[in-house]
Structure 1
Amino acid sequence: MSDRSSSTSTSQTEGELDEEMESEEGKNENERAGSPVPSLSSFSTSLRAVVRIKQKYQAMKKRRQEMALEPGVLGAFAGAAPRSSPKIFTFDGLTPSAFSSISSITKKKRRRRRRVLFPNRGSCRTVPKQERSRAMYCLYLLLAIVFVQVYNAIENLDDHVLRYDLEGLDKTLRREVLGQQGAVDGLLSHLKEYLSTYVHNKPLVVSLHGPSGVGKSHLGRLLAGHFRSVVGETLVLQYYVLHHCPQEADAQQCARNLSAIISEMVERAEEEEKIPLFIFDEVEHMHDEILDALWQLVASKQSNEYLNAIYLFLSNLGHAQITKHVLHNSSSSSMAMTASIHHSNLVKELTPILRNTLEKLHPLWSDADILPLGLLEKGHVMECFLDEITREGFYPDRANIERLAGEIEYYPVVGGREYSQTGCKQVVAKVNLL
């Protein structure tokens, strides 16, 4: 309303000014019409009238500006708010600080405009559903297939181990082999690990070493009999060097014959999907030509059938180191130590010593797992007499067994233990004399 009143008052003043100017101009025209020939005095009169009108107009304009500066006076006059004259914007009064403030204000406005506004919680009452990808079903199917394959592989491994009846072999060796618990445990561990699968990257080579009469040949016979019952007679070879190749002159021919026999057996075992067993006794008498042929078969990777085989070497090589180590460490070992722990420690301590000695003789033992057999105590010798007497059908008299065991030669007592110099080597001969 104030703007309308101010605009009406301003228009009224301008209208009055125009009417006065028109009246003055009308008078001048009348005077010019009354006098057909204007004179110098009339021209000066009209000039003074124009100057006077201009001065009056400037005075009214000045008065109107003053009234605009005084809102009380203009409000009283015409009953409306004063009209403010338009302001012209220039950059004359601005300073660098003002420019920085203006730029900061514009930047803030831009930042505010970039903000993302989220809807209120009240508007989104339901959680949006996430669509499940169809690829997840394929992933579940793949995991199920892998699980079934792994389960079948484990079942096949168990079936493969059960085929060789290693539990029965374990019971037989623990019952028949006396005083060699550590070597038996190590041998069974190698067999279980190797026979758990049919595909291998190298054959299993185990070398048993020990003094005379500690049960090496007996252990080989037990293994041969067990494997003949599970894989067949044709897949087990017992090779006695003094029997199959006694003459050194025939060593080259013996090596060729042995290579041909092994090749034929591994091919047959590959067809039947079985693992053959090769037992070589009295290896200390084996000629270098035969050792070289065996090393080529063990270390070669011609085909898969040569990798699926078990080689067992029995010898008394390194018996001096074994005897010295057992007699020297028996005094430091505790009597309360069980037999299994004692023999396990013996295997761990003697294995690196024997390996250094055997690798100097032939590189065949660099690829072999070495298991030492310790000396037999007097109690083990008495058990050997008991088994042999029972097998021959004699009455197992305790006094007779102690008498026969006393005829065996022993090392001096060390650490409360009495070790036999010949083991159970003379047991069969003495029982035959009864």
Structure 2
Amino acid sequence: MNSGNLFLLFFLLPCVTVEAGFFDFFESLFCSCHFDGFKDITIISEKDDLRHFDSKELKKDLRKFLYGQHIAKKTIQNVVSSFMEDSNPNKPLVLSFHGPPGVGKSYVTNIIARNIYKNGKKSKHVHTFKADYLFQHKEMTRTYQTQLREWIHGNVSCFPRSMFIFDKVDQMNPELIDAITPFLEYNHQLDGVSFNNAIFIFISNSEKDAIINLTLDFWKEGRDREEIQMTSSGLETQISQNIYNDKNDGFQHSSLLDHHLIDYFIPFLPLELKHVRQCVLSEMAHLKMNADKDLADKVARDMPFFPPEEKIFAVKGCKSVRQKLYAND
């Protein structure tokens, strides 16, 4: 059973407490690791699921499948490669992806995962949490905190190279983000377990306006979007500062930012027509359809674009590409 499915079931049983036999029910699925303060909740480790990491393969994968995101490509290639090739990192890798929907933030986690694990995103060591779905009930925050801590601690204790992905983290209760913070510290151990080899990725639509406006300014000035860099108008700094000032962002009220534990705030730019066209062609290949550039262009142009007059950027990025393709086939 996939760990993500187990975790979902874990949250769908709020009436069963951690101490009241939930883990006993699944005992046969868990590994034999034990540590003070917790009963193990991790599925049997499959160490052969870990690939031999090749930075050149990651670079090739990013170049081939991530469209219109030169900043993300370069940054992710450099930081993930450096982290994976470091035999003794002093903290887990913590990345925060920001930008409008449909531009590749979630998709790039697939690319990272398949370059680390043989089973990619389906690996039992990749854990995805959708904040707006799993953490809906505010009155259950303490229960969520306990479960989240034990899930992370248990999995890393049995498999240090675990990956945790938190989607829509801007909608996440800051108290839950605080529950994660201790695992992200420098050279820190909890109950004898080091988290320095784990990867944590936070995904958010927050700060999309700042990213879109900067990209639009470059376009209005007749400059190539490839000229936009992390340092352009202090983009990365601007993202982190805006989060600090956003009263509706879960990050803003948590201790994660105060402790400076996020290694990189990575902006994802809005996509243009040519990028959406690439997404359509990629989807055709995935569906084993014959490559049809005319059809790809038609599908891409059928997507909504903004600003209203110029129609430069895709409103939904590459979301709904498959549905549009079906409708035009």
Any conservation in 2 of the 1:165–1:230 contact (CA below 8 Å)?
Answer: no
3-state SS of 2:118 partner: helix
Provide TM-score, normalisation by structure 2.
Answer: 0.72
Residue number among 387, 396, 412 corresponding to 2:291 in the alignment:
396
Match of 1:363? 255
Match of 1:233? 123
Match of 1:425? 319
Q: Distance in 2 between matches of 1:200 and 1:227?
A: 16
3-state SS of 2:96 partner: strand
Residue number among 370, 373, 388 corresponding to 2:268 in the alignment:
373
3-state SS of 2:117 partner: helix
- Is the counterpart of residue 214 in structure 1 residue 109 in structure 2? no
Q: Rg bigger for which structure?
A: 1
Any conservation in 1 of the 2:215–2:228 contact (CA below 8 Å)?
Answer: no
Amino acid at match of 2:126: V
Q: 1:195-344 to 2 correspondence within 5 Å?
A: 195-229=84-118, 233-270=123-160, 275-299=161-185, 301-302=188-189, 303=192, 305-335=194-224, 341-344=226-229
Q: Distance in 2 between matches of 1:251 and 1:219?
A: 29
Question: Which structure ranks higher in relative contact order (CA pairs < 8 Å, sequence separation ≥ 6)?
Answer: 2
Q: 1:11-26 to 2 correspondence within 5 Å?
A: none
RMSD: 2.8
Any conservation in 1 of the 2:164–2:200 contact (CA below 8 Å)?
Answer: yes
Q: CA deviation at 1:176?
A: 0.9
3-state SS of 1:358 partner: helix
1:197-256 deviation per Cα after TM superposition (whole angstroms, max 9, x unaligned): 232322221111110111111112222333221899343222222343333333322221
3-state SS of 2:201 partner: strand
Count of equivalent residues: 265
- Is the counterpart of residue 353 in structure 1 residue 225 in structure 2? no
1:357-390 deviation per Cα after TM superposition (whole angstroms, max 9, x unaligned): 1234133233211110111111001111111123
Match of 1:186? 75
Provide TM-score, normalisation by structure 1.
Answer: 0.55
Any conservation in 2 of the 1:413–1:419 contact (CA below 8 Å)?
Answer: no
- Is the counterpart of residue 177 in structure 1 residue 62 in structure 2? no
Q: 1:103-142 to 2 correspondence within 5 Å?
A: none
Q: Which moved more, 1:290-299 or 1:356-365?
A: 356-365
1:86-134 deviation per Cα after TM superposition (whole angstroms, max 9, x unaligned): xxxxxxxxxxxxxxxxxxxxxxxxxxxxxxxxxxxxxxxxxxxxxxxxx
Identical counterparts, % of pairs: 24
Amino acid at match of 1:283: V
3-state SS of 1:371 partner: strand
Q: Distance in 2 between matches of 1:412 and 1:242?
A: 29
Q: CA deviation at 1:345?
A: 5.4
Amino acid at match of 2:183: L
Q: Distance in 2 between matches of 1:405 and 1:230?
A: 31
- Distance change (3 Å), C-alpha of 1:396 and 1:230: closer
3-state SS of 1:356 partner: helix
Greater strand content: 2
Q: Distance in 2 between matches of 1:164 and 1:394?
A: 31
Q: CA deviation at 1:260?
A: 0.7
3-state SS of 1:237 partner: strand
Any conservation in 2 of the 1:376–1:420 contact (CA below 8 Å)?
Answer: yes
Any conservation in 2 of the 1:318–1:354 contact (CA below 8 Å)?
Answer: yes
Residue number among 409, 412, 420 corresponding to 2:304 in the alignment:
409
1:44-93 deviation per Cα after TM superposition (whole angstroms, max 9, x unaligned): xxxxxxxxxxxxxxxxxxxxxxxxxxxxxxxxxxxxxxxxxxxxxxxxxx
- Distance change (3 Å), C-alpha of 1:163 and 1:391: closer
Q: CA deviation at 1:261?
A: 1.3
Unmatched tracts of structure 2, length 5 or more: 1-50, 246-251
3-state SS of 1:314 partner: strand
Amino acid at match of 1:221: N
Q: Distance in 1 between matches of 2:98 and 2:325?
A: 26
- Distance change (3 Å), C-alpha of 1:197 and 1:406: closer
